[in-house]
Amino acid sequence: MVDYATQLKESGLKATFQRMNILENIGNHGHMSIDNIYNEVLSIHPSLSLATVYKNIILMVEKGLLVEVPIEGQKSKYELLKDDHIHLVCTECGEVEDKAHNMATDSIFHTMTKKENFRLSKQQINLYGVCSYCQEAIV
Ligand SMILES: [Zn+2]
Ligand SMILES: [Zn+2]
Protein backbone atom coordinates (compact mmCIF):
# COMPACT_ATOMS: atom_id res chain seq x y z
CA MET A 1 0.00 0.00 0.00
CA VAL A 2 1.52 3.28 -1.11
CA ASP A 3 1.23 6.12 1.36
CA TYR A 4 -0.20 8.85 -0.86
CA ALA A 5 -0.92 11.08 2.12
CA THR A 6 2.79 11.28 2.96
CA GLN A 7 3.71 11.81 -0.69
CA LEU A 8 1.29 14.73 -0.92
CA LYS A 9 2.53 16.31 2.28
CA GLU A 10 6.16 15.91 1.21
CA SER A 11 5.27 17.78 -1.99
CA GLY A 12 3.78 20.59 0.04
CA LEU A 13 0.16 19.71 -0.74
CA LYS A 14 -2.70 19.03 1.62
CA ALA A 15 -3.63 15.35 1.59
CA THR A 16 -7.28 15.74 0.65
CA PHE A 17 -9.44 12.67 0.01
CA GLN A 18 -9.96 13.58 -3.60
CA ARG A 19 -6.24 14.01 -4.28
CA MET A 20 -5.52 10.68 -2.61
CA ASN A 21 -8.36 9.13 -4.59
CA ILE A 22 -6.92 10.47 -7.86
CA LEU A 23 -3.45 9.10 -7.04
CA GLU A 24 -4.90 5.76 -5.98
CA ASN A 25 -6.83 5.39 -9.23
CA ILE A 26 -3.84 6.25 -11.38
CA GLY A 27 -1.73 3.88 -9.27
CA ASN A 28 -4.19 1.06 -9.93
CA HIS A 29 -4.61 1.71 -13.65
CA GLY A 30 -1.07 2.75 -14.61
CA HIS A 31 -1.90 5.45 -17.14
CA MET A 32 -5.18 7.36 -17.32
CA SER A 33 -6.65 10.30 -19.20
CA ILE A 34 -8.35 13.06 -17.24
CA ASP A 35 -11.75 11.77 -18.43
CA ASN A 36 -10.97 8.27 -17.12
CA ILE A 37 -9.80 9.67 -13.82
CA TYR A 38 -12.86 11.90 -13.52
CA ASN A 39 -15.24 8.98 -14.13
CA GLU A 40 -13.55 6.91 -11.42
CA VAL A 41 -13.43 9.74 -8.89
CA LEU A 42 -17.05 10.59 -9.64
CA SER A 43 -18.22 7.23 -8.29
CA ILE A 44 -16.90 8.20 -4.87
CA HIS A 45 -17.31 11.99 -5.00
CA PRO A 46 -20.45 12.55 -7.12
CA SER A 47 -20.46 16.31 -6.50
CA LEU A 48 -16.97 16.90 -7.86
CA SER A 49 -16.62 18.95 -11.05
CA LEU A 50 -14.34 18.07 -13.96
CA ALA A 51 -12.66 21.46 -13.50
CA THR A 52 -11.69 20.62 -9.91
CA VAL A 53 -10.29 17.23 -10.88
CA TYR A 54 -8.40 18.86 -13.76
CA LYS A 55 -6.98 21.56 -11.47
CA ASN A 56 -5.79 18.97 -8.94
CA ILE A 57 -4.13 16.85 -11.61
CA ILE A 58 -2.27 19.85 -13.09
CA LEU A 59 -1.17 20.86 -9.59
CA MET A 60 0.15 17.37 -8.86
CA VAL A 61 2.01 17.40 -12.21
CA GLU A 62 3.63 20.72 -11.23
CA LYS A 63 4.65 19.26 -7.88
CA GLY A 64 6.16 16.22 -9.57
CA LEU A 65 3.76 13.64 -8.12
CA LEU A 66 2.26 12.92 -11.54
CA VAL A 67 3.79 12.77 -15.00
CA GLU A 68 1.96 13.74 -18.19
CA VAL A 69 2.35 11.43 -21.17
CA PRO A 70 1.34 13.33 -24.33
CA ILE A 71 -0.39 11.33 -27.07
CA GLU A 72 -0.69 12.83 -30.54
CA GLY A 73 -4.28 13.37 -31.62
CA GLN A 74 -5.57 12.17 -28.25
CA LYS A 75 -5.84 13.40 -24.73
CA SER A 76 -2.74 13.10 -22.57
CA LYS A 77 -2.49 10.34 -20.02
CA TYR A 78 -1.14 10.70 -16.52
CA GLU A 79 0.90 8.32 -14.42
CA LEU A 80 2.55 8.32 -11.01
CA LEU A 81 6.20 9.31 -10.88
CA LYS A 82 8.10 6.03 -11.26
CA ASP A 83 11.62 4.90 -12.02
CA ASP A 84 12.72 5.91 -15.51
CA HIS A 85 11.11 3.75 -18.14
CA ILE A 86 10.22 3.74 -21.81
CA HIS A 87 6.66 4.11 -23.11
CA LEU A 88 5.16 2.21 -26.00
CA VAL A 89 2.22 4.43 -26.94
CA CYS A 90 -0.47 3.12 -29.31
CA THR A 91 -1.87 6.02 -31.34
CA GLU A 92 -4.92 3.90 -32.29
CA CYS A 93 -6.28 2.85 -28.88
CA GLY A 94 -4.23 5.19 -26.70
CA GLU A 95 -2.84 2.33 -24.63
CA VAL A 96 0.43 3.18 -22.88
CA GLU A 97 2.75 0.36 -21.89
CA ASP A 98 5.72 0.70 -19.53
CA LYS A 99 8.96 -0.93 -20.59
CA ALA A 100 12.02 -1.03 -18.37
CA HIS A 101 15.33 0.31 -19.56
CA ASN A 102 17.95 -2.31 -20.36
CA MET A 103 21.71 -2.12 -20.61
CA ALA A 104 21.56 -1.05 -24.25
CA THR A 105 19.22 1.92 -23.66
CA ASP A 106 21.04 2.93 -20.49
CA SER A 107 24.29 2.98 -22.39
CA ILE A 108 22.85 5.17 -25.20
CA PHE A 109 21.62 7.85 -22.79
CA HIS A 110 24.70 7.71 -20.62
CA THR A 111 27.05 8.05 -23.58
CA MET A 112 25.00 10.81 -25.21
CA THR A 113 24.60 13.00 -22.13
CA LYS A 114 28.23 12.51 -21.18
CA LYS A 115 29.48 13.42 -24.64
CA GLU A 116 27.35 16.58 -24.71
CA ASN A 117 28.22 17.48 -21.13
CA PHE A 118 24.48 17.59 -20.52
CA ARG A 119 23.35 17.26 -16.93
CA LEU A 120 20.26 15.10 -17.20
CA SER A 121 17.57 15.81 -14.62
CA LYS A 122 14.48 14.25 -16.09
CA GLN A 123 13.64 12.03 -19.03
CA GLN A 124 10.66 10.74 -20.89
CA ILE A 125 11.09 8.34 -23.77
CA ASN A 126 7.93 7.73 -25.76
CA LEU A 127 7.75 5.42 -28.75
CA TYR A 128 4.58 5.99 -30.76
CA GLY A 129 3.04 3.41 -33.03
CA VAL A 130 0.34 0.76 -33.33
CA CYS A 131 0.11 -1.99 -30.71
CA SER A 132 -0.19 -5.65 -31.67
CA TYR A 133 -3.94 -5.79 -30.84
CA CYS A 134 -4.72 -2.78 -33.06
CA GLN A 135 -2.57 -4.20 -35.86
CA GLU A 136 -4.79 -7.28 -35.90
CA ALA A 137 -7.92 -5.16 -35.77
CA ILE A 138 -6.82 -3.11 -38.80
CA VAL A 139 -6.10 -6.21 -40.94
ZN1 LIG B 1 -3.66 -0.20 -29.73
ZN1 LIG C 1 4.63 4.86 -17.72
User: CA-to-CA distance for 116 and 109, rounded, in angstroms?
Assistant: 11
pLDDT for 102-111, tens place per residue?
999 989 999 9
pLDDT for 108-127, tens place per residue?
999 999 999 999 988 999 99
User: CA-to-CA distance for 125 and 88, rounded, in angstroms?
Assistant: 9
Of the bound ligands, which one is closest to the alpha carbon of residue 95?
A: 1
Decide if pLDDT at 139 tops 90.
no
Of the bound ligands, which one is closest to the alpha carbon of residue 129?
A: 1
98 Cα–ligand 1 center, Å: 14
Laid out side by side, the sheet with 85-90 consists of 96-100, 85-90, 125-129
pLDDT for 15-28, tens place per residue?
999 999 999 999 99
136 Cα–ligand 2 center, Å: 24
pTM over 0.85: yes
Decide if pLDDT at 2 tops 90.
no
Q: What is the mean pLDDT of the chain?
A: 93
CB burial of residue 45 (10 Å; 0-12, 13-18, 19+) = middle
- What is the end-to-end Cα distance of the chain in Å, rounded? 42
78 Cα–ligand 2 center, Å: 8
Please compute the mean of the pLDDT values over residues 53-68 and round it to a whole number. Answer: 96
Q: What is the largest CA-CA distance in the chain?
A: 53
96 Cα–ligand 2 center, Å: 7
Decide if pLDDT at 81 tops 70.
yes
Is residue 129 classed as helix, strand or coil in its secondary structure? strand
pLDDT above 70 coverage of the chain, percent: 98
